[in-house]
Amino acid sequence: MPERDAIGNERPVPPAEHSVLVGWCDSESHLNWIRRTGLYNFRAGLRRGSLRLEPAIADARHLLLHGKNNQAWPGLWRIKKRGPRIFTAGELVKHGYPSTPDPEAIYAVFDVEPDSFYHGWKWDYARLPGQKPAFASAEPFAVSLVQVLGVHHI
Residue 103 lies in a domain: yes
Q: Residue 82 domain-assigned?
A: yes
**pLDDT tens for residues 115-143?**
999 999 999 999 999 887 766 677 789 99
Q: Is residue 90 part of a domain?
A: yes
Residue 148 near residue 76, CB atoms below 8 Å: yes
Please tell me the total count of domains within the chain: 1
- Dihedral pair phi/psi, residue 24, rounded to 5°: -85, 135
Domain that holds residue 71: 19-153
Domain membership flag for residue 28: yes
pLDDT score of 66: 94
Q: Is residue 45 part of a domain?
A: yes
pTM listed for this prediction: 0.87
Residue 10 forms part of a structural domain: no
Task: Report if residue 4 sits inside a domain.
Answer: no
The CATH number of residue 23's host domain is 3.10.590
Any idea which of 1-15, 17-31, 119-133 has the lowest mean pLDDT? 1-15
pLDDT at residue number 125: 94
Q: Over 60: is that where the pLDDT of 7 sits?
A: no
Query: Is 7 a member of any domain?
Result: no
pLDDT in the model for residue 70: 85
Task: Give per-residue pLDDT as tens, 50-91.
Answer: 667 788 888 899 999 999 888 999 999 999 988 899 999 999
Strands (E), the chain: 19-24, 39-44, 62-67, 71-72, 77-79, 85-88, 106-114, 122-123, 141-144, 152-153
